[in-house]
Structure 1
Amino acid sequence: MLNVAKDYIKFPASMEEIQAIKEQFYNIAGFPNVLGAIDCTHVALVPPADSEHVYRNRKMYRSINVQVLVGPNLQILDIVPNYPGSCHDSFILQGTELFRRFQRGDYGDSLILGDNGYRLSSWLMTPYLNPRTPAEQRYNLAHKNTRSIVERTFGILKSRFRCLDVSGGALLYKPKIVCQIIIACAILHNIANKHNIETPLADDLRAEIQINLDQNIPADNAGQLLRQHITNQYFA
């Protein structure tokens, strides 16, 4: 199954696909040019004894920290499932092909929405930590409502595949196999989503780990200017 991952987990390739995704995101809360919402989620495992500390996350259990980029209809557009739980979200992003593509400007004015665990940049919009005006508050609300699609996707993914949630126990496989399991589940999630197979959200999922590193990540000047422009243009 893993050799067909690229057929089921893929970023939009054509201008038509990109524009359709932007319009669908805009219709959620009026946030412009959004091509995806990004976040990380933890999948528990029993790691090798000699590297146990590397997999210990901020909630003190061992895990893989999985980066996921989600589209407006709960589809997984990109997934990076091979970093141990001790790695922070922003660190994972900087080592990915997704980061390099956006840094090169491959997607023009397209934006990704992330929480304050990521660095504000000219292509990744984060919320205001301390909104001072009604416009900044409206920006934050639109950002939150639009980006909530990624949290909902995690909930559905883990409801479908309880082995991915810590409430279902830890996966008893080598990290490489755990990564393959995660990708397989993401493929099946996208297939189910494409065919409108609904899965109720389980009410006993473990709450996601909240990581806020914004105060330790210098904001990009271009990102600050763009965020202010979006605030003034769309939410004033």
Structure 2
Amino acid sequence: MASNVDEDTLALLGLALILKMNNTKKKRKKWCKHWLLKRKTYSHVNLLSELKFEPEDFKNYLRMDEKTYLKLLEMVTPMIKKEDTVMRNSISAHERLSVTLRFLATGRSYEDLKFSAIISPQALGKIIPETCEALYKVLRRDYFKFPKSEEEWKEIAKMYEERWNFPHCLGAIDGKHISIVPPANSGSYFYNYKGQHSVVLMAIVNAKYQFIYIDVGMNGRISDGGVLQNTKFFEKLENSDLHIPSSELLTGSNRNLPYVFVADDAFPLRPDMIKPFRQADLTSQERRILNYRLSRARRTVENAFGIMASRFRIFYTHINLEPENIDKVVKASCVLHNFLIEHSKKSYAPQKCFYRENSENGTIISEGYNTQNSTMVNLERRNPGNTLNNAKIVRNNFMNYFNQEGRVPWQNDHVN
């Protein structure tokens, strides 16, 4: 009986303590800051209504003209639109898309963006990743196409030959470290060789400066030499599942050469992947010319990264988001890049963005945009290790072609 009394007494004391704590708990002053309730009055969407009368300012604000923005808004609205409730009106698709584009264009923090968007940082933390994910899902169907047949691969190769005098080129491969603020308790998991924290973006670009493949999210600690090997692309390449065309005679030549990707020294030399001779191995004019011709084709991927970083200044910051949200931001930026190259090229990527040469004498008119001033970091050059003999033979055959029947008149002037 005594034990029952003790238990009842303890229960009553516990209940009294809980009630006291609830009564003394600091009451919330308001459910929302007063100025955040005046979104219709102060939001940047009002500024956008005025900027449509100043087209250049509109382009600068969202990185696209009004017509392109409205097309994008129409495409993505079904995926980001929310219904109003009896408690409050929802944040419109227009507000969600415009604040996301502004975030990508500036790299500003949620705390900073709240003053122009009139949306709380907590809400922005949901809206921006959701909208980035929606952009990727909507746009990748039409603006992010990986070749699935020999004919599609040959279309890419044809354009590389026409624009860059590099036949049988299936695309330019490169990778970048995307600088991030490491998540709490992540230690050295994202720590790269440059002494920064990063995730890796690996990409393949076509001759139109558009991404045809990306792999993002690999932690920066992985050796750069292993970046390619950890992608689905490499797995399919190794298993011959990419439907790459078989070797063919080059146009105007009796040389039978394979279709190849071009890469820099961070990637392996393979029969299906050509990279330049290392500096120590440039023992002849012929090898220097191979490097020059390969470098011209690789400009596409360097310029693509450079244009994207210059337009979406989020890549000039250390991205301070959860890793899964960083992936969404990077993917959205890549697919937006492709979309804007297609629909707003004059404003998004004018001629000065690209590497250009005088077609008569090969003098360089413009180096184009690169990532030199951004926080993107190149992959580390790899140790050559053991290279298959047939990979060396393929590179030498391309070298001989570029120095003989495939030469361009000005190439010797660029390697002396």
TM-score by length of 2: 0.52
Q: Distance in 1 between matches of 2:166 and 2:401?
A: 11
CA shift for structure 1 position 207 = 6.7
Secondary structure of the residue aligned to 1:82 is strand
Q: State the match for 1:107 in structure 2.
A: 244
Counterpart selection for 1:124 from 267, 273, 281: 273
Please give the residue correspondences for 1:31-110 in structure 2 after superposition, counting only pairs within 5 Å: 31-105=166-240, 106-108=243-245, 109-110=258-259
Secondary structure of the residue aligned to 1:118 is coil
Secondary structure of the residue aligned to 1:41 is strand
Q: How well do the aligned residues superpose, as a CA RMSD in angstroms?
A: 2.1
Q: Distance in 1 between matches of 2:329 and 2:388?
A: 36
The amino acid across from 1:87 in the alignment is I
Q: State the match for 2:137 in structure 1.
A: 3
- Kept in 1: contact 2:140–2:335 (CA 8 A): no
Instruction: Quickly say closer, same or farther: Cα 1:19–1:77, change in 2 above 3 A.
Output: same
CA shift for structure 1 position 164 = 2.0
Q: State the match for 1:225 in structure 2.
A: 393
The amino acid across from 1:194 in the alignment is E
CA shift for structure 1 position 208 = 3.7
The reply to whether residue 234 of structure 1 matches residue 382 of structure 2 is no
Deviation string, structure 1 residues 106-133 (Cα, Å, up to 9, x no partner):
3133211111111100111111111222
- Kept in 1: contact 2:263–2:273 (CA 8 A): yes
Instruction: Quickly say closer, same or farther: Cα 1:173–1:206, change in 2 above 3 A.
Output: closer
Deviation string, structure 1 residues 39-78 (Cα, Å, up to 9, x no partner):
1112121122332312112221111111011111110010
- Kept in 1: contact 2:179–2:376 (CA 8 A): no
Structure 2: gaps (5+ residues)? 1-133, 246-257, 354-368, 405-416
CA shift for structure 1 position 10 = 2.2
Secondary structure of the residue aligned to 1:68 is strand
Number of matched pairs: 232
Query: Hey, which of these two has a bigger chunk of helix by percent?
Result: 2
Counterpart selection for 1:177 from 325, 328, 334: 325
Q: Distance in 2 between matches of 1:107 and 1:17?
A: 9
Secondary structure of the residue aligned to 1:132 is coil
The amino acid across from 1:19 in the alignment is K
The amino acid across from 1:162 in the alignment is R
Q: Which structure has more RCO (C-alpha within 8 Å, separation ≥ 6)?
A: 1
Q: Distance in 2 between matches of 1:21 and 1:138?
A: 23
Secondary structure of the residue aligned to 2:209 is coil
Q: Distance in 1 between matches of 2:237 and 2:381?
A: 22
The amino acid across from 1:227 in the alignment is R
- Kept in 2: contact 1:119–1:214 (CA 8 A): no
Q: Distance in 1 between matches of 2:330 and 2:161?
A: 29
Q: Distance in 1 between matches of 2:163 and 2:290?
A: 13
Counterpart selection for 1:192 from 321, 340, 343: 340
CA shift for structure 1 position 148 = 1.4
- Kept in 1: contact 2:178–2:315 (CA 8 A): yes
Q: Distance in 2 between matches of 1:155 and 1:94?
A: 25
Secondary structure of the residue aligned to 2:148 is coil
CA shift for structure 1 position 204 = 4.2
Counterpart selection for 1:137 from 288, 307, 319: 288
Secondary structure of the residue aligned to 2:212 is strand
- Kept in 1: contact 2:169–2:262 (CA 8 A): yes
Q: Distance in 1 between matches of 2:218 and 2:379?
A: 17
More moved, 105-114 vs 154-163: 105-114
The reply to whether residue 151 of structure 1 matches residue 320 of structure 2 is no
The amino acid across from 1:97 in the alignment is K
- Kept in 1: contact 2:179–2:375 (CA 8 A): no
The amino acid across from 1:18 in the alignment is W
The amino acid across from 1:192 in the alignment is L
- Kept in 2: contact 1:39–1:89 (CA 8 A): no
Structure 1: gaps (5+ residues)? none
The amino acid across from 1:107 in the alignment is I
